[in-house]
Amino acid sequence: MRHFLLLCLALTFTTGRVLAQDASTPLQGRWVVVDGEHNGKPMKGLNGGVMTVTGTAWEIRTASGNMLKGTLKLDASKKPAQMDMIHADGTVWEAVIETTGEMFRLNYVEKGEKDPRPTGFKTSEKTEESLVVLQRQKQ
């Protein structure tokens, strides 16, 4: 039980709530992509994709029908909060995240490539960062 509590404390988000362990937390549930940006340019092809977070597991069904799955690793001690999305095939996306009400933003790069983890929520033509804006799906 003590290890579970330590894990929950390690996953505390800036709102003071526990992430990825409690159904009432900010990231739990279904999110629909409403906007995107890559290399400083709009990336509308992602719109309509759905990301579902259940516990520490995530899955993304892209607008084109592809399915991605994996687990989350969160570090809320950083500002902005950091999240690693570890894909089932071992690929890791390093992201910064922000949730505000019904909106969720993440800016990510693939770990091990030329760019370090993003530090904010803008992309530029000089990086391979991808910014995705999601809105909580209504029940």
Q: What is the mean pLDDT of each run of 10 residues along the chain (139 residues)?
A: 31 36 65 96 94 95 95 92 96 96 95 96 95 91
pTM for the model stands at 0.80
Q: Which domains does the chain have, with CATH numbers?
A: 2-136 (2.40.128.280)
Compute the distance between CA of residue 49 and CA of residue 46 in angstroms, rounded to an integer: 6
- Contact assessment for residue 30 and residue 51, using Cβ atoms and an 8 Å cutoff: yes
SS3 label, residue 58: strand
